[in-house]
Structure 1
Amino acid sequence: TISNTDVTSTTTMSNALVLANKPQQTSNQLQALVSKKPASVMPKPQWHAPWKLMRVISGHLGWVRCVDVEPANEWFVTGAADRVIKVYKKNH
């Protein structure tokens, strides 16, 4: 036999399941309230002549992902996909 509290609990669950099907309306209402940003326009890059290769620096086992030159222009640092950071002294 089912007690009175079990029937009430089952009825409440049934109502909760019916309400769970309504988020589509709420979602549509929220989408109407959210303002859309205008699409950003990327400027077209200017063409320049291909660069002349001056020197190849070897030492990394993977792709070089970043290069940074220190402000006095005496040395520079490279970081690569091989998870190694290398510091090079520049020869003028």
Structure 2
Amino acid sequence: MSVHLTTFEGSVTTAIRDAILQRIDDAEIEVSGGGGHFNIVVRSGAFTGRPMLQNHRLVMGAIAHLMEGESAPVHAVDKLQTLAK
């Protein structure tokens, strides 16, 4: 795991979960990782019948603010899975 310097205070995994839940209220979310690199699994009824790319854009849009700037707490999402409930 690499070292990623950030000025973010608090739990990054909790911030990721909260941001996704604000956009997708029925989401079941698993977040793992650290050092700026995370794996995310999201299950939601909102993904039913939608293309994977649209689902990924929805999730990435929800956490975009956590990826902005040089000292952002999220440097990369190494793996993203979006699964329909």
TM-score category of the 2 structures, normalised to the smaller one = under 0.3
Q: Which of the two has higher C-alpha Rg?
A: 1
Greater percentage in helix = 2
Q: Which has the higher contact order (CA 8 A, sep 6+)?
A: 2
TM-score (norm 2): 0.26
Greater percentage in strand = 2
